[in-house]
Structure 1
Amino acid sequence: MAEFESIATLDGSGSFDAYVARPDGTPKAAIIIIQEIFGVNEGIRRKCDAWAAAGYLAYAPDLFWRLRPHIELDADVPEELQEAFGLFGQFDQDAGIADIEATIKAARADMGGGKVGLVGYCLGGRLAFMSACRTDGDAFVGYYGVGIDGLLNEQHAIGKPVLLHIPTADGFVPAETQKAMHEGLSDNRHVTLYDYEGLDHGFAAEMGARRNEEAATLADGRTAAFFAEHLA
């Protein structure tokens, strides 16, 4: 069973929708899927459905709701890709983190308590890292997160496990940024980084031209094992 449900903002000033997919029976835990710059599109909803099929309660909050609710864009359509870049430039990331925190609270309340993991892609990968520094989630995964080198001064606040997937030929995360991430996080016992040699941004997209089936399967398997360990 899956549908959009309303979540109140932390300050009570409004509400936003999240796509929610529920497992059969009692959830193992909850997982929040954090969107790319393309909104809560079919690919993100499919990821939610897959986590629900694996026994988790899955939420995907519509983080662009302040700009335009329920936007869905396709990375393979040039005009929509440019539109997504424009939305990224307008997006208030601090407000997004507050909405993620509200989603964590909603998921915990939905389960009557329990652990919550977060997994994000692209912009969502960045927000997953920010969430590890700023929220009370229980485990965090970022796929090809952008600009994480500029967030390293927050890593002292990380107290829960973090996993980062890094494609080495990422057109949006250059080699010097990847180096800064590896060097800057090397002494942080909470953080694990995996490199994917020769792969580009978006390799684990659920659908479309960016997907690399072999690498996506490998990364998703690592993510599943990570959550199985840390959300148990």
Structure 2
Amino acid sequence: MNTEWVQLKAEDGNELAAYVVRPDGEPKGALVVVQEIFGVNRQIQKSTEEWASHGYLCIAPAMFDRIEKNVNLEYNQEDFQKGFGLMKQFSEGLVDQTKDVKAAVEWLRAETDAPVGVVGYCFGGTMAFLSATRLEIDAAAGYYGGAIAQFANEEPQCPVILHFGADDEYIPQAARDTIQTAHPEVPIFVYEGAGHAFERSVDPNHYRAEAATLANKRTLLFLEQHFG
């Protein structure tokens, strides 16, 4: 695999960095990997590399570049508070929060004719769902997207798969039920013994290997099915 940083420009002129990982050989698909509230940090770079190892051309846009450049946070309380504040500014400051994901989608489409999907975690999980409802993509996978229920009235324009931990302290069952009621066609998987951020492999306080492995296996099968 080859890695590099590129610059993207959104339709409103915003410029942002993005971490790109190219697979060995011709890509069988392409993925935008959308960050948590901690920026394109070591976890998101690692996740982007892992998806690329399965044959996907991947790009992880630095979503908070719109507010603050070079956000790269650790998993501690101080950085959590900073990341949460950035997320709040980002979400409240944009009419359509998918502008920067769209820039990454367009970059991928300029690089390959392969199908393009979006995978996201936490904040990025919500962005993955919104990408499915607002952008022209081929598939979307969301991991523990905390605000998806708030947008449950929006209709996905492509296949979607969602993953949640049964013990997620931020996303109650009522939120999952709201999504499932609005979208019975969307497969929603709930992992017993897993809380929020259970796929975050660099963070032993949250990572749950069994749940993460199963969720990623399901996402890969989902992508293979819908990418043809």
Measure the CA separation in 2 of the matches of 1:137 and 1:73: 29
Q: Tell me if 1:215 matches 2:214.
A: no
Residue of structure 2 in register with 1:174 after alignment? 172
Change (3 A) 1:160 1:95: closer
Residue of structure 2 in register with 1:197 after alignment? 192
Q: What amino acid is aligned across from residue 184 of structure 1 in structure 2?
A: A
Assess if the C-alpha contact under 8 Å between 1:63 and 1:96 holds in 2. no
Where do 1:87-166 residues align within 5 Å? 87-92=86-91, 94-111=95-112, 113-155=113-155, 158-166=156-164
Change (3 A) 1:32 1:94: farther
Aligned counterpart in structure 2 of residue 229 of structure 1, from 180, 202, 225: 225
Measure the CA separation in 1 of the matches of 2:213 and 2:95: 32
| TM-score (normalizing by structure 2) | 0.94
Q: What amino acid is aligned across from residue 37 of structure 1 in structure 2?
A: I
Q: What amino acid is aligned across from residue 165 of structure 1 in structure 2?
A: H
Change (3 A) 1:91 1:133: same
Greater displacement, 58-67 / 78-87: 78-87
Alignment root-mean-square deviation, CA: 1.3
Q: How many residues align?
A: 224
Percent sequence identity is: 38
| TM-score (normalizing by structure 1) | 0.92
Measure the CA separation in 1 of the matches of 2:123 and 2:142: 9
Secondary structure of the corresponding residue to residue 129 of structure 2: helix
**What displacement does 1:114 show?**
2.3
Q: What amino acid is aligned across from residue 20 of structure 1 in structure 2?
A: V
**What displacement does 1:154 show?**
0.9
Measure the CA separation in 2 of the matches of 1:94 and 1:222: 32
Moved >6 Å (runs of 4+):
none
Change (3 A) 1:70 1:223: same
Secondary structure of the corresponding residue to residue 31 of structure 2: strand
Secondary structure of the corresponding residue to residue 118 of structure 2: strand
Assess if the C-alpha contact under 8 Å between 1:44 and 1:206 holds in 2. no
Assess if the C-alpha contact under 8 Å between 1:168 and 1:197 holds in 2. yes
Secondary structure of the corresponding residue to residue 32 of structure 2: strand
